[in-house]
């Protein structure tokens, strides 16, 4: 029983002083975009995409091109939207039109972080190739997020 409490705590967030359990996502993030679409943006990939599950239950897929640049897709529940917006609010997020129900991106060093809310999901695309890689990958992937 104690292990269930620990697991629940790992998938929880404090929002407005209240404990909120994160939605469990059952999507294969790598299925959201074809290899050919990734290579059209990033160039030839060095290795196959790497699927994983993050510490808060988000499903991830990471791509690395032959030049060593990377992009990572993460999918998680829209219940974390307010937290994500708040965590980057001081980084001057730039709104993006016509991408999901709401979208924005921020520059973090030389990398970009792009967030899209669509229905009950958030799609996050992080990339060392900046917005030049993140936006077209997000545009392709969001169309496959149902």
Please give the Cα distance from 85 to 5 (Å, whole number): 28
Contacts with 93 (C-beta within 8 Å, 6 or more apart), sequence order: 85, 104, 105, 106
Contacts with 83 (C-beta within 8 Å, 6 or more apart), sequence order: 13, 15
Q: Are 96 and 104 in contact (CB under 8 A)?
A: yes
User: Which residue shows structure tokens 């969001």?
Assistant: 142
* Residue 8, pLDDT score: 41
Q: Which residues pair with 72 in a beta bridge?
A: 62, 126
User: What does CATH list as the number for 23-142?
Assistant: 3.40.1000.20
Q: Where are the domains of the chain?
A: 23-142
Look up the pTM and report it. 0.83
* Residue 84, pLDDT score: 87
**Integer angstrom CA distances of residue 28 from 11, 57, 146:** 18, 12, 12
Q: What is the pLDDT along the chain (146 residues), one digit of tens a residue?
A: 344 334 444 444 444 443 344 445 789 999 999 999 999 999 999 999 999 999 888 999 999 999 999 999 999 999 999 988 899 988 999 999 999 999 999 999 999 999 999 999 999 999 999 999 999 999 999 999 98
């Amino acid at each position: 029983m104690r292990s269930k409490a620990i697991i629940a705590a790992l998938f929880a967030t404090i929002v407005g002083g209240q404990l909120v359990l994160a939605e469990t996502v059952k999507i294969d993030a790598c299925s959201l975009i074809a290899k050919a679409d990734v290579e059209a943006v990033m160039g030839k990939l060095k290795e196959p995409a790497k699927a994983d599950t993050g510490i808060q239950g988000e499903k991830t897929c990471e791509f690395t091109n032959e030049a060593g640049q990377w992009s990572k897709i993460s999918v998680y529940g829209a219940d974390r939207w307010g937290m994500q917006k708040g965590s980057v609010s001081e980084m001057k997020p730039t709104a993006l039109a016509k991408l999901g129900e709401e979208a924005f991106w921020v520059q973090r060093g030389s990398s970009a972080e792009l967030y899209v809310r669509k229905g009950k999901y958030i799609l996050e695309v992080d990339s060392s190739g900046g917005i030049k890689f993140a936006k077209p990958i997000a545009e392709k992937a969001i169309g496959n997020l149902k």
